[in-house]
Amino acid sequence: MKTNILFLFLVLQFLSPSSHAQPTSDVTHILFINSTNQDMPWYKSVELGLRTELTKRSFSYELFVENMDVNRFDEVNQKQLMKDYLKQKYKNKHIDIIVTQSPSAATLLSQLDDFL
């Protein structure tokens, strides 16, 4: 849990307008990849925390949320499906920041080398 809080803190520090230049676009596109399903209490609290912190920032953002649902489906198959899905869905949308919620989602992100 401390690792997740530290990771979220680091992401929010990255988003801090005082320490970094603003992106050239008027809107920062943020993709949040969750490895569980959207009904899990842990996931709900993480997403709420992310949304709460983002609303405190002085920049415009658009948050996209994707759920891998590896608890209910085969993780290996879900990663491949999500990899293909994300590449297709966001092929015409520039994503500025990607936040992952778990090791499974982080592993997926590391396999999306041509996505970024």
2-14+26-110: CATH, from 3.30.110, 3.40.1000, 2.60.40, 3.40.50: 3.40.50
Q: Encode pLDDT of 49-78 as tens digits.
A: 999 999 998 889 999 999 888 778 887 888
Strands 97-100 and 27-34, bridge-based pairing: parallel
Q: Is the pTM of this model over 0.75?
A: no
Q: Supply the pLDDT for residue 16.
A: 52
The structure tokens 């080398």 sit at: 113
Nearest one of 94, 108, 113 to 29, comparing CA atoms: 94
Q: Residues in the chain, how many?
A: 116
Q: Supply the pLDDT for residue 6.
A: 41
